[in-house]
Amino acid sequence: MKAFEYVKPATVAEAVRELGRSWEEAKILSGGTDLLGELKEGLISPQKIVNLKGIANLGYVRFSEKEGLKLGALTTLAEIESHPVIRQRYTALAEAAGSVATPQIRNIGTIGGNLCQRPRCWYYRDEHTRCLKKGGPICFAYNGENKYHAILGAGPCYIVHPSDCAPALIAFRATVSIVSPRGQRSVPLEEFFVLPARRLDHETILEPNEILTEIQVPTPPPNTRSTYLKFRERDSFDFAIVGAAVVARMRGDICEDIRIVLSGVAPIPWRSPEAEAVLKGKKITPDLAEQAAKAAVAKAQPLAQNAYKIPLTQAIVKQAVLKVAGQSK
């Protein structure tokens, strides 16, 4: 590992001043559960590490009916998973946070780091492979080992987005605050992530000198129910092969409004307006849930080894829809 300068600013204003204009100049450290891996594996070698954990007031959970939920970027996943208001009012988010990695990682890992973590594609994570994301000529997954790669929205790079919390937060219409030396901006989380067709070197709109500081989530309307279901190969801890966050406003059996956001299938958390349209305004039945599940993958373009994700996505969408409709556990 190359030597680097280490700073621990006490305020967000100081922290953004420490960041550089290029990614090589400085990297942000929160819990470090992803960043330290990248450093040790030789994927990044910044001149400086800016540790946000010295900033006293950046980890918090606040809720009011009027303003909704506010999460400071340094809030740990363990705090989110166990917070009574989040468990009750934002169930999908608590379930998503609780499905991340292991209890040890959830005790250290932050929500800011969870949203900004880098992809797990094995070609990207291999120090010696210069893939498209690292300025190389091709995406090796396209004709290579692509069992875990994207079936929707991909190309020219076929990564899948790794965060479990992002789909749940998007389903709840979350917004993020971003601070840079120029000031603060607010962006819907749905617009925070970018497809490889638009940006190859990074997966979000963040520039090198920007910090994600807060996540705001509106108060869910009455009769909102939600869930996050995740299929993984190893049940003890693993990233999603396929996951579905579903947030629905129900009136009895009738679905008045619904948002469905998938994980593990696309380079960004993948919202499915096609599946939502099948369900909105209708009485939810197993048949209708199945139609919605089919609509969610209608545009899928699997690679040689990942067509199995299509029936898996359908199964998980159907199960999640029936669960929010109160028709299964």
Write out the residues near ligand FAD by the rule CB under 6 A. 27-35, 37, 52, 73, 77, 100-101, 105, 108-110, 112-114, 116-118, 162-164, 206, 211-212, 237-239
203, 269 Cβ separation under 8 angstroms? no
Give 261 or 279: the residue with its C-beta nearer to ligand FAD. Answer: 261
Give 112 or 153: the residue with its C-beta nearer to ligand FAD. Answer: 112
Please state the closest distance from residue 153 (CB atom) to ligand FAD, in A: 18
**Beta strands in 146-253, from DSSP E residues, in sequence order:** 175-180, 183-188, 211-217, 224-231, 242-251
Give 115 or 246: the residue with its C-beta nearer to ligand FAD. Answer: 115
The alpha carbon of 249 is separated from its chain's Cα centroid by a whole number of angstroms, namely 22
Q: What ranges in 44-182 are assigned the alpha helix state H?
A: 77-82, 84-89, 91-98, 103-108, 111-116, 122-125, 140-143, 165-171
Please state the closest distance from residue 304 (CB atom) to ligand FAD, in A: 25
Please state the closest distance from residue 164 (CB atom) to ligand FAD, in A: 4
Alpha-carbon torsion, ordered 165, 167, 169, 175, to 10 deg: 120
Give 114 or 224: the residue with its C-beta nearer to ligand FAD. Answer: 114
Other CB atoms within 10 Å distance of the CB of residue 276 = 20
Other CB atoms within 10 Å distance of the CB of residue 16 = 21
325, 250 Cβ separation under 8 angstroms? yes
Give 57 or 221: the residue with its C-beta nearer to ligand FAD. Answer: 57
Among all residues, whose Cβ is closest to ligand FAD? Answer: 113
Please state the closest distance from residue 97 (CB atom) to ligand FAD, in A: 9
Please state the closest distance from residue 255 (CB atom) to ligand FAD, in A: 27
225, 248 Cβ separation under 8 angstroms? yes
